[in-house]
Amino acid sequence: MTDKLPENISGERYIRKLFELSKQLIISLDLDTILQTTVEGVTQISGLDTAAIYLLNERTMRLSATTPPLPPEFPEALRLGVLDDYPNLRRSIDTSGPVFLHDVEEVPGTPAEMAIVQLRNLRTLLFLPLIAENEVLGALIIGSIGKPSPVEQLDRDLAFTFANFAALAVKNALLFNDGQAYAAELERTLSERKKAEEEREILREQLLQAHKMDAIGQLAGGIAHDFNNMLTGIIGNAELLRDSLTDSVLRDSALDIIEIGKRSAELTTQLLAFSRKGQIQNIPVDLNHSVKEVVSILKHTIKRMIEIRVESGSDPVYTMGDPAQIQSALLNLAVNARDAMPDGGLLELRTAIVDLDEEYCRDHGIALPPGRYNEVSVRDTGNGMDAQTIRHIYEPFFTTKKQGEGTGMGLAAVYGTMQTHHGAISVSSTRGGGTTFKLHFPVITAGKEEIIRLADARTPVSGNMNTTDKSRKILVIDDEEKIVLVVAEHLRKTGYEVSTYTDGLSALEFYREYFDSVSLVILDIIMPKTDGKYLFYALRKLKPELSVILTSGYSLTGITQELLNHEGVQFLPKPFLREELLQAVGKVLQL
């Protein structure tokens, strides 16, 4: 046995690989570049030989990009077509899902389909829709040349995910083209040409940055969700392995796997914060109190040569949000400020209520309507940053620190936290002249008594876990078989009776017959075919008092928040340790 664990256990390499592959789609807003990048990238993902994109205008398809390039003899008439003449492609669009043909010679085709198949000598075909925000943009066709090619389900799923992301990039490019046309029209109507050009450039940069960050955020959120599912299985099985081992060296290795899994979960937590899918609570938060907590933490870790200064008014400065996420955002900024002052300096944290006008928001790249906001600024007198660095600081995995000193996720998580809280972040910095970050949060307009009432109403009630009746039956529903197995094993080893299902409809059929004996359901929110929301209401209709633990690779979503408003419901984010699972079970059974 080696002392070094496989590097892929940490998952960072896996995330980086998917991230970098899809990131190519968003570095340009040029439609032709995006289309060509898509066809070339999807062949790498699927392992097939050729790919083509057809863009759709009403029911007319136009061939827009291919790899490899089309031969000179390819008929011009086949570059355009009517959607109804291509039933497999149409089925992919109508069902919003992939259509896979292992060998086209075994499937009857229309004359239009067979003309292209014979001309390109195609055998295996995979049709993928390009749909963004319920708008059908076209379809992506991938194929093998000369002979059928096996395509694993995982490769099809990855190709489908990549196609969804490509659709978003195509839509962004089309929106950008529309924006460019609008900017050109605006320029012609403005009396002062110089001012028009300056405003157009500002709008262009903000639009490009917003689209890019939104696209990366969707990618990051999807990766974090899928990876949290995998980490749940890794950590859970490692705990079971640890309990079954008597050899101390092997037990230490199992403990190492658990610890690495927990560190990987911290990375996915930052990804979820960046993707705006990580908010756990929505309660009144006193930003002055958040600053004091951050300063208290810093005093134990910061060098004495750095002076900490806090400026705030005597009145509380409240916003609605997640206090843990806000504290984490402030701590990230403060730690970066500390690292920027290796020889000492001043770290200043300041809170205030400010009025932002339209000109200030535009000049500072703040995507907020003019109005009154809570402002928290974090200023340092450290090394500062140049303009090129500032353009990339919120991108995941971008860092100026040495390898091993940072993941590049700190500011990305801060950016996502501000988006989640309907606020904004801005920065001013010069090389050698220090840096100031400003966070702007919405102001709570309610009075002090109303704020206290809102905070009290959202205080969770803890349960008594010491009197749990372990004879009660638990139903576990999750589409990931590995997760179902490990959760069931943890519960059975503790003494619970457990039934498991990876299909929501089958679980519902079981529950209709045995609901009287089921005391608790552990339910995954995000599942194919039948989602967790539908199942929740179907289960509660049969037994209104049923206790439910909701799980998800995301943190709280709008759907989860809705379900948590019901009595007897708890939320357990993935990945979770066995002890966290058992605590949640004991707590909810006592509500």
Q: What is the pLDDT of residues 65-97, one digit of tens each?
A: 999 988 888 888 788 888 889 999 999 999 999
133: three-class secondary structure by DSSP: coil
Comparing 11 with 324, which gets the higher pLDDT?
324
Q: Assign 201 a pLDDT band (cuts: 50, 70, 90).
A: low
Tens digits of residue pLDDT in 211-269: 555 655 555 555 666 777 787 878 888 888 888 888 888 888 888 888 887 777 666 66
Comparing 127 with 386, which gets the higher pLDDT?
127
Mean pLDDT of 427-445: 89
Q: What is the pLDDT of residue 591?
A: 41
Looking at the predicted structure, is the pLDDT value of residue 287 above 80?
A: yes
Q: Which among 137-141, 273-277, 301-305 has the top mean pLDDT?
A: 137-141
Q: What is the pLDDT of residue 563?
A: 82
Cβ-count burial 40-75 (b if 16+ within 10 Å, e if not): ebbbebbebbbbbbbbbeeeebebbbbbeebeeeee
What is the C-alpha to C-alpha distance for residues 248 and 103, in angstroms, rounded to an integer?
53
Comparing 287 with 16, which gets the higher pLDDT?
287
Comparing 27 with 484, which gets the higher pLDDT?
484
Kindly list the distances between the CA atom of residue 291 and the CA atoms of 287, 296, 354, in Å, as whole numbers in the listed order: 6, 9, 17
Tens digits of residue pLDDT in 343-357: 889 999 999 999 988
Map tokens 């730690």 to a residue.
Answer: 335
CATH architecture assigned to 12-189:
2-Layer Sandwich (3.30)
Global pTM exceeds 0.75: no
Please give the class, per CATH, of domain 473-588.
alpha beta
Domain ranges of the chain: 12-189, 283-457, 473-588
Q: Assign 362 a pLDDT band (cuts: 50, 70, 90).
A: confident
Q: What is the pLDDT of residue 466?
A: 40
Looking at the predicted structure, is the pLDDT value of residue 102 above 90?
A: yes
Q: What is the pLDDT of residue 55?
A: 92
Q: Assign 9 a pLDDT band (cuts: 50, 70, 90).
A: very low
What is the C-alpha to C-alpha distance for residues 31 and 173, in angstroms, rounded to an integer?
6
Structure tokens at 496: 């619970």
DSSP at 303: -
Q: What is the pLDDT of residue 450?
A: 55
Cα-Cα-Cα-Cα dihedral of 79, 163, 13, 259, to 10°?
-170
Q: What is the pLDDT of residue 100?
A: 93
Q: What is the pLDDT of residue 342?
A: 87
Cβ-count burial 546-566 (b if 16+ within 10 Å, e if not): bbbbbbbbbbbbebbeebeee
How many CB atoms lie under 10 A from the CB of residue 99?
Answer: 20
CATH superfamily of the 283-457 domain: Histidine kinase-like ATPase, C-terminal domain (3.30.565.10)
Q: What is the mean pLDDT of the chain?
A: 79
Q: Assign 396 a pLDDT band (cuts: 50, 70, 90).
A: low
